């Protein structure tokens, strides 16, 4: 904890940078292999590419139909987030401000959902979605994500609202506003910090989720990015250049968004789970 940059700090810096280099080896392999054609791959897989080619990238983009998969992922993620935040924040506002046993009971019921593994209801829910004709649709996934992520969303919002003075909303109500108006115009804007956290944590979860979209969307035209990549890798498993170009393209959107918003994302991950 010394304040100047001494020898000790310098040595630590070396150790940490060496650790980062070792840590990044898989990423180096990923990018290097994706830039090589078959001959170069066969000759020396891990050496830096002598004549890098983007051929794998255009092949992977079209063969995995990544364009449509990205569109599906975007629609499902954005729509789920909108519904989650809308109904989650309303519910949390009621739970945080209602001092009755009903309010407390409902809150505990929502907390239960954080602990329950979704596998417990997996088969009954699959049957329900199937008989409702929602397999292979956006709607099925949006309802699923809303339900499965509500406990966590309600938990975060309720904790935040409890710490917020009720005075602002009360002033609006006394001035004659309705509850709907008081919440949307006065309270909801005050929730911005926690809405950011809710948005980030849920977006990362929904965008990357694999198991349920595999069950509900596998083989349909609505496959999300992880499901499409899963099928793509299965088909071209031995062609590492092509597979890795597909992985880079599929991972790039979320990595770019993360790098742009990294301060908020890291803060969201670090704080969000304390409630």
Partner 1 sequence: MDGARASGGRAGGGRVRSRRRRGGFLTPPWWFAAPAVLVYALVVLYPSASGVMYAFTDWNGIGDRSFNGLDNFQRLWQDDAARGSLTNTLLLTVAIVVVQNGIGLLLALGVHTHIKSRAVLRVVFFTPAVVSPVMVAFLWKYVYNPAPDAGLNGILGAVGLGSLRQDWLGDPSLALWSVAGMVVWQFAGYSMVIFLAGLEGVPAELHEAAMIDGAGRWQRFRSVTWPLLAPSVTINVMLSTIGGLKLFDQVYAATSGGPGHASETLSTVLYKQAFVYGNYGYSTAIALVLALFVAAVSLVQVYYLRSREVGS
Site string for partner 1, 231-260 (x = CB under 8 A): --x------x--xx--x--xx--xx--xx-
Q: Which residue in the set 39, 50, 51, 100 belongs to the binding site for partner 1 (CB under 8 A)?
A: 100
Cα(125)–Cα(215) distance, rounded to whole angstroms?
Answer: 11
Q: Helices marked H in the chain — which ranges?
A: 7-23, 25-34, 38-43, 55-63, 66-97, 101-115, 122-131, 138-162, 167-174, 179-181, 188-190, 192-208, 211-217, 225-235, 240-260, 262-272
Please, what is the minimum distance in Å from the beta carbon of residue 192 to partner 1? 19
- Smallest distance from the beta carbon of 11 to partner 1, in angstroms? 10
Distance (Å, whole) CA 61 – CA 34? 13
Stretch that binds partner 1, among 53-61, 63-71, 105-113, 189-197 (CB under 8 A): 105-113
Q: List the interface residues with partner 1, window 11-50 (CB under 8 A).
A: 12-13, 15-17, 19-20, 23-26, 29-30, 33, 44-46
- Minimum CB separation from partner 1 for residue 247, in Å? 5
Q: Are 249 and 59 in contact (CB under 8 A)?
A: no
The CA distances from residue 214 to 100, 141, 211, in Å, are: 42, 11, 5
- Which range in 51-59, 61-69, 190-198, 265-273 contacts partner 1 by CB under 8 A? 265-273
In terms of CB distance, is 57 or 244 closer to partner 1? 244
């Amino acid at each position: 904890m010394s304040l100047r940059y001494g020898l000790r700090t310098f040595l630590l810096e070396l150790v940490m940078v060496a650790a980062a280099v070792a840590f990044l080896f898989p990423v180096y392999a990923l990018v290097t292999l994706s830039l090589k054609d078959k001959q170069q791959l066969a000759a020396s897989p891990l050496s830096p590419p002598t004549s890098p080619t983007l051929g794998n990238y255009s092949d992977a983009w079209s063969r995995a139909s990544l364009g449509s998969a990205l569109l599906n992922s975007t629609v499902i993620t954005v729509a789920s987030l909108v519904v989650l935040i809308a109904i989650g924040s309303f519910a949390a506002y009621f739970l945080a401000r209602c001092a009755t046993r009903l309010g407390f009971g409902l809150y505990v019921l929502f907390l239960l959902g954080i602990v329950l593994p979704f596998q417990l209801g997996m088969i009954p829910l699959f049957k329900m979605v199937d008989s409702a004709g929602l397999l292979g649709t956006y709607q099925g996934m949006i309802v699923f994500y809303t339900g499965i992520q509500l406990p966590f969303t309600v938990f975060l919002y309720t904790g935040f609202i409890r710490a917020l003075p009720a005075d602002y909303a009360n002033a609006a109500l006394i001035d004659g506003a309705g509850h709907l108006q008081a919440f949307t115009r006065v309270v909801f804007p005050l929730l911005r910090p926690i809405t950011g956290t809710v948005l980030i944590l849920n977006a990362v979860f929904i965008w990357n989720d694999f198991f349920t979209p595999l069950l509900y969307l596998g083989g349909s035209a609505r496959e999300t990015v992880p499901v499409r990549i899963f099928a793509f890798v299965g088909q071209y498993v031995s062609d590492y250049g092509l597979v890795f170009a597909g992985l880079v393209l599929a991972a790039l959107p979320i990595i770019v968004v993360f790098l742009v918003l990294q301060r908020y994302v890291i803060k969201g991950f670090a704080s969000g789970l304390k409630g």
